[in-house]
Structure 1
Amino acid sequence: MATADHVKALIRSHAEGDDERFYAIAMQVAAQAARQGHTKFAQELRNLVDQAKLRAKAEPSGQRTKPVPIIQPRGELAGLLSAAFPKSRIADMALDDALRARIDRILLEQRQRETIRAHGMSPLRKLLLVGPPGTGKTTTAAALAGELSTPLFTIQLDGLITKYLGETAAKLRLIFEAIQQTRAVYLFDEFDALGGERAARNEVGEIRRVLNSFLQFLEQDDSDSIIVAATNHPQILDRALFRRFDSVIEYRLPSENVAEEVMRARLSLLDASEVNWSEALDAAKGLSHSDITRACEHAAKNAILQHHTRIDTAELVEALIERRAAHQ
């Protein structure tokens, strides 16, 4: 049977994504089990390994995605990247049909990226997400990572941008080297802090140089990673940025259908059968997905604290109005 060393080696090879070593160790365990008289277990284990190898060979190469182990950035990268392994899925998001179709296309090209590259083309992988706060830009980056079983690395702009000449560009180079070396989704959130218009009078020379460096690194990058830049203020971005991205995706405040979908999903654990959705939707006008979600959670918690299982229309409307007032 498996020894402690075998178990540790199996876990290590799985974490590193080394399938061949994983199968080899499993076969060693089967051989040892057979020598100890556990012939049925040994044969079952061999069969499982053979079946797993056959399934791997049968998969189209463009659809073969392996989980990338989460390794917290070390050294100079420690203050530049934060790592996560999201379980989010696009199906969990409330999106209009056009936006969902664009994201589905990105996923399709990523899953077939080897086939696309074999024909001399590149899959969609440099994405600029623009739109109001709370409309799902950051969530999309997490969902892409979840769908593709890759880590999500968020760039820490406070650690990236410094006042010292040349230091920010050097740190940016480290990030793009990581993008080249480790396939993942890399999120530049609040991207306008880095990508602001170079001609702006109040911009210091260092930021202009950093933007020039970013443009060069982005254009030269041919990795398998996905680069996502998200901003609430596309109007202040440098015009040269837009043509460097494969796709610019615009996020809007939710339509009535999407707003209702968000509310029904967040209130699904309570009885919402008597909610007047027309009144609720009227109160939700102008609110983002995030605002609606928080209002629903507030109303749901109020019901729970009052030992109710039914959500009250007046309470939901009041929570939505409070969220609106918070922005005024």
Structure 2
Amino acid sequence: MATAEQVKALLKSYSSGNGEHFASVALQIAADAARAGRGNIAQELRDLVDDIKRKQSAGKIGGAVPIARPSGELAALLAASYPQTRLSEMVLSQTTHEALQRVLREYRSQTRLREHGLSARRKLLLVGPPGCGKTMSAAALAGELKLPLFSVQFHGLITKFMGETAAKLHLIFQSMTQTRGVYFFDEFDAIGANRGSRNDVGEIRRVLNSFLQFLEQDDSDSLIVAATNFEAMLDEALFRRFDDVIQYARPDAEQIVLLIRNRLHSFLGARMEWGKIKTAAEDFSHAEVARACDDAAKDCILQDKERVTTAMLLKTLRERRLGGARPVEIIGP
């Protein structure tokens, strides 16, 4: 189990109030236990560390700062949050929903899978149009697994100096080993674009090569989630490195109705003309439908109405189709 040096490191980090180092040492002990074949003990230690992080985040123990909060140079590279989002709150296609459920199922059983020489899905690429749930899915995975969500800040990652971006990327992958969580690379095409494109920049090509190398070598317990709206722009080598590529699409007619019902459950009138509403929201993303619902709910409150009517919802959907600009007057339902 724990060596004398590890015990001393635990005590020193506790004495200095360095919660991040305390968690890091505890996870090192868990990793040593796993390598020694004590999988159950290793999992118990990881669960205890996760419990400490949750309680620290909720302010139940220690200070108000969560243990997993990035510090030093990582503070400019990662934004930490503790989502409460659940997969059941999302309106997705059955295929996408089942793919995410499979990730959760495998991750929760990763100790059992390792005992048989198998690995859980941990490296995910989410592709599809904007506003269709990719970012929310990363939050839902973190919420379901009770893990912190670390969003990579590309403005802090990408620099003009040769080699500096790759070095910062290396820090992020080191953090994945030290602090278990969901590490989210949104707008991944910023570093994952095809290396043979005409607009290729040498430094970004080197960053992508480094990312591919780090991703392939990663054997942490963290989830790595990358998302892009531009699947066609990605380098082909990326698809082989991820455990799963999950597709997202705009909601179909039935999903639009379910999304509206969920979003306006306490506002909807009894007699909604769903045929007209489906037509008005055709080809909308999940986010566009949700924003139109929020606008309708606000109009309902500000106009002292008891319920959102079909006419009110059609109005906000039309406004959303026009780019969010409010027309001076809309005649008819």
Q: Shorter-chain TM-score: which interval?
A: 0.7 to 0.9
1:158 and 2:155 are equivalent in the alignment:
yes
The answer (yes or no) to whether the contact 1:136–1:289 under 8 Å persists in 2 is yes
Deviation at 1:107, TM superposition (A): 0.4
Q: What TM-score, normalized to structure 2? A: 0.79
Q: Which amino acid in structure 1 is aligned with residue 272 of structure 2?
A: V
1:274 and 2:271 are equivalent in the alignment:
yes
| In 1, Cα distance between equivalents of 2:215 and 2:267 | 47
- Residue number in structure 1 paired with 2:211: 214
**Which of 256, 260, 270 is the equivalent residue of 1:263?**
260
- Residue number in structure 2 paired with 1:79: 76
Q: Report sequence identity in percent.
A: 51
- Residue number in structure 1 paired with 2:307: 310
Moved more, 305-314 or 124-133: 305-314
Q: How does 1:1-328 map to 2 (within 5 A)?
A: 66-67=50-51, 69=53, 70=66, 71-326=68-323
Deviation at 1:67, TM superposition (A): 3.7
Q: Which amino acid in structure 2 is aligned with residue 247 of structure 1?
A: D
| In 1, Cα distance between equivalents of 2:207 and 2:83 | 30
Tell me the C-alpha RMSD between the 2 structures. Answer: 2.6
| In 2, Cα distance between equivalents of 1:62 and 1:268 | 42
Provide structure 1 residue ranges, at least 5 long, that are not aligned to the other structure: 1-8, 21-56
| In 1, Cα distance between equivalents of 2:46 and 2:71 | 31
The answer (yes or no) to whether the contact 1:62–1:112 under 8 Å persists in 2 is no
- Residue number in structure 2 paired with 1:39: none
The answer (yes or no) to whether the contact 1:186–1:228 under 8 Å persists in 2 is yes
Deviation at 1:271, TM superposition (A): 3.6
- Residue number in structure 2 paired with 1:27: none
Change (3 A) 1:252 1:86: same
Deviation at 1:135, TM superposition (A): 0.2
The answer (yes or no) to whether the contact 2:295–2:316 under 8 Å persists in 1 is yes
Deviation at 1:312, TM superposition (A): 1.2
The answer (yes or no) to whether the contact 2:261–2:268 under 8 Å persists in 1 is no
Deviation at 1:68, TM superposition (A): 6.1
Secondary structure, aligned partner of 2:136: helix
| C-alpha distance after superposition, 1:8-59 (max 9, x if no partner) | x9xx9x99789x9xxxxxxxxxxxxxxxxxxxxxxxxxxxxxxxxxxxx9xx
Moved more, 189-198 or 93-102: 93-102
The answer (yes or no) to whether the contact 1:189–1:229 under 8 Å persists in 2 is yes
| In 1, Cα distance between equivalents of 2:47 and 2:206 | 39
Secondary structure, aligned partner of 1:187: strand
Deviation at 1:295, TM superposition (A): 0.1
| In 1, Cα distance between equivalents of 2:195 and 2:235 | 6
| In 1, Cα distance between equivalents of 2:271 and 2:23 | 51
Deviation at 1:202, TM superposition (A): 1.4
The answer (yes or no) to whether the contact 1:17–1:67 under 8 Å persists in 2 is no
| C-alpha distance after superposition, 1:125-167 (max 9, x if no partner) | 0000000000000000000000000000000011101110100
Change (3 A) 1:211 1:63: closer
Aligned residues: 280
Q: Which amino acid in structure 2 is aligned with residue 170 of structure 1?
A: A
Q: Which amino acid in structure 1 is aligned with residue 180 of structure 2?
A: R
Deviation at 1:269, TM superposition (A): 1.6
| In 2, Cα distance between equivalents of 1:105 and 1:178 | 25
Moved more, 65-74 or 75-84: 65-74
Deviation at 1:323, TM superposition (A): 1.2
Deviation at 1:272, TM superposition (A): 2.4
Secondary structure, aligned partner of 1:291: helix
Runs of 4 or more above 3 Å deviation: 14-18, 60-68
| In 1, Cα distance between equivalents of 2:101 and 2:314 | 34
